[in-house]
Structure 1
């Protein structure tokens, strides 16, 4: 639930930012000064990139959560527990021991979203967020 609150807060802050920057950008674009026009266009583009990034992340989060609920309903989530250090970070050697099983499942079923999602969960549990996101994105593509 706290992740949803964070998303709502960040999206609201971005909307306020885009509106305020959009107002300033419009003033710069209509100033008639070539430098002001260039800066106004750059601000508009910056706002659009921000909106695109937030929309992309929200769509990813909604799709990933939907697949997670489906996998949970099927009682197919990974059951292994990874030991964590006192700092809260996972023990890399414990996580590495799980990879062969889930990697083999992905290799045997490359079009199965469940295998990719489980692999993403194992990556996430090991603290490898980049690979976890890649695997979950692949799961989302396969589920379509």
Structure 2
């Protein structure tokens, strides 16, 4: 059941945001039609705000789909990090000592093969478990780009 609730909720939120952006653009156009200079300025601002908002939603959704695809492929190829044996806090988060050991192991894999998107993916996940989300995002971007390049090359 939850498998369908999250995507449905995300779809509703995105549709609501698109409706709001549409209303902002309509108000912006109404402002542009006004003879007042300040209203024209607000109209331009509303249109720009709506376009930036729509762009940011597009980027967020696109990145989410890319992450789902690369995660599924890594799992299918057996490259997902195995965190089942790591010590956890009552909240479910991995204990820092265990995360640091996992990170050290995955770092050695990365040093041996830094160009492989699978290893970059594993390193990004290890950074995330170790609490360094900024570096994790950086390596996940590299992994997504590497996986896309490999997929493109395999198509011909």
TM-score (norm 2): 0.81
Q: What runs of 5+ residues in structure 1 fail to find an aligned partner?
A: none
Does residue 1:27 correspond to 2:6, yes or no?
no
SS of 1:100's equivalent in the other structure is helix
Spell out structure 1 runs of 4+ moving beyond 6 A: none
Measured against aligned partners, the alpha-carbon deviations of 1:66-98 in whole angstroms (never above 9, x if no partner) come to 111111111221113343322343322211111
Structure 2 spans left out of the alignment, 5+ residues: 150-156
Corresponding residue for 2:154? none
2:52 counterpart residue number: 49
Structure 1's 33 and 86: CA in aligned 2 closer, same or farther, altered over 3 A?
same
> Which residues in structure 2 correspond to 1:106-117 (within 5 Å)?
106-117=110-121
Tell me: higher relative CO, structure 1 or 2? Use CA pairs within 8 A at least 6 residues apart: 1
Contact 2:103 2:130 in 1 (8 A): no
SS at match of 1:105: helix
Given that 1:113 and 1:138 are in contact with CA atoms closer than 8 Å, whether structure 2 keeps it comes out as yes
Q: For residues 13 and 126 of structure 1, what CA distance do their matches in structure 2 show? A: 36
Is it true that 1:104 corresponds to 2:123 in the alignment?
no
Residue 18 of structure 2 corresponds to 15
- Coordinate RMSD, CA, aligned: 1.9
Deviates more, 1:126-135 or 1:13-22: 126-135
TM, length-normalised to structure 1: 0.87
- Quick one: distance in 2 between partners of 1:40 and 1:114? 47
